[in-house]
Amino acid sequence: MAEALSRLLKPWGGWSAFVSPGERVLLKVNLLSQAAPERAVTTHPSVVEAVARGVMAVGGIPEIGDSPPFGGFRAIARESGIEEVARKLGIPLLELGNPKPFEGGVPPFQRLLLSQELRRFDKVINLAKVKTHTKMVLSLAVKNLFGVVPGKLKGEWHLKTHRDDLLFAMVLVGIYRMVNPAFSLLDGIVSMEGEGPSNGTPRNTGFLAGSPDGIALDAYVASLLGLPAKRLPTLQAAERMGLVDPGGYELLGERPGPERFQGFLLPKTLSGERRVPLWFARLYLGLRERRPWIDAALCERCGRCRQICPAQAIVGEGEFRVDLERCIRCFCCQEICPAGAVLLKKGWKSRGNKSGGRA
């Protein structure tokens, strides 16, 4: 891993191009939920270890952090293998809590509540996992920084942006710009396809990709998967916000062959309904949009979906169900469910279209 990383960083001259001696560096990993590394939910510990060692070798002082939307941070870090990396290298593990206002976001969200811990660091290195995402199509570098919004506050953004995926993506891009990571690295050694970001299928794609420009990096990885940039709401948002270089980007170093991504599965229930006016959604598209549904046979009654739901739409006592009148279709429940019991169903207009497509 160290060798692959050093080849990747070579065009820039190694970690010293991004980290100076004595700088405090946050390694922002993906600790979405409790899962062993082979499930491809979290950043792989070997990637985190190689980056931490590289940062330390140039005199940086790393800490490893994230803020899972639900579940014990420590338990998730332990199961992911990242706690062991921190212990072995003697570096702190940090839960990104303590929300404080940060100014300079994207209209109409100029003020964002992010973890105050960010202020302690000179640099952020963004260590994202390559995964599918039922709302954002793919979870890559830009999406990974949503983790600096402490815990359940993430759900409030779904509420504020309602079901407009592009508006939500603008918030994500705004957070990315505010955090401004020195370098973003995508762990695509084992990616997740299908029903990501937590219940998809691991797929051996065997690559690492990195860039100081996380937006260009996301565009590159989307292209590897055969997806045009406009298919990703975050890239659409970045373009709208004038953050995409019209000259494109320069590719440096090794590139994985297309055979590794052939037939890469996207989520079955990808939305084709972005930027739907609410009145129209209620009157017509409500019949065909995706709706969360809890499969009682799979549900373990852990209550996580109910706790994370920003709209208090999970109701019922012995058996949980979704109150669709209240539900804002943020799909946090599906993301967090450890049992894969929250399914996304489409209405009658889309019946028969069982596949979300292949890349």
Measured from the CB atom, is 75 or 299 closer to ligand SF4? 299
Q: Does 153 bind ligand SF4 (CB under 6 A)?
A: no
Give whole-number Cα distances, 154 to 255, 264, 268, 305, in Å.
34, 28, 24, 14
- Of the candidate spans 87-95, 246-254, 276-284, 332-340, the one that interacts with ligand SF4 by CB under 6 A turns out to be 332-340
Which 3 state secondary structure label does DSSP give 191? strand
Return d(Cα 120, Cα 171) in angstroms, integer: 23
Measured from the CB atom, is 27 or 313 closer to ligand SF4? 313
The one-character DSSP state at 253 is S
Measured from the CB atom, is 83 or 335 closer to ligand SF4? 335
Q: Does 309 bind ligand SF4 (CB under 6 A)?
A: yes
Q: Does 313 bind ligand SF4 (CB under 6 A)?
A: yes
Site for ligand SF4 (CB under 6 A): which residue of 24, 255, 301, 345?
A: 301
Q: Which residues contact 87 (CB under 8 A, 6 or more apart)?
A: none
Return d(Cα 248, Cα 117) in angstroms, integer: 34
Backbone angles phi, psi at 7, to 5 degrees: -65, -40
Q: Which residues contact 271 (CB under 8 A, 6 or more apart)?
A: 135, 165, 289, 290
Q: Does 320 bind ligand SF4 (CB under 6 A)?
A: yes
Measured from the CB atom, is 48 or 344 closer to ligand SF4? 344
Q: Does 154 bind ligand SF4 (CB under 6 A)?
A: no
Nearest to 223 by CA among 272, 195, 258: 258
Tell me how far, at minimum, the Cβ of 43 lies from ligand SF4, in Å.
23
- Of the candidate spans 56-64, 119-127, 175-183, 336-344, the one that interacts with ligand SF4 by CB under 6 A turns out to be 336-344
Q: Does 314 bind ligand SF4 (CB under 6 A)?
A: yes
Measured from the CB atom, is 154 or 203 closer to ligand SF4? 154
Site for ligand SF4 (CB under 6 A): which residue of 148, 322, 343, 359?
A: 322
Number of H helices, E strands in the chain: 12, 13
Site for ligand SF4 (CB under 6 A): which residue of 190, 231, 311, 321?
A: 311
C-beta atoms surrounding 35 within 10 Å:
17
Tell me how far, at minimum, the Cβ of 292 lies from ligand SF4, in Å.
4
Measured from the CB atom, is 143 or 177 closer to ligand SF4? 143
**H or E element: which one contains 132?**
strand 123-133
Return d(Cα 66, Cα 154) in angstroms, integer: 13
Q: Does 121 bind ligand SF4 (CB under 6 A)?
A: no
Return d(Cα 36, Cα 39) in angstroms, integer: 6
Binding string to ligand SF4 for residues 244 to 283, with x set by CB under 6 A, is what? ----------------------------------------
**Token pair 């170093």 is at which residue?**
253
Return d(Cα 283, Cα 351) in angstroms, integer: 19
| Residues forming the site for ligand SF4 (CB under 6 A) | 292, 294, 299-305, 309, 311, 313-314, 320, 322, 327-333, 336-337, 339, 341-342
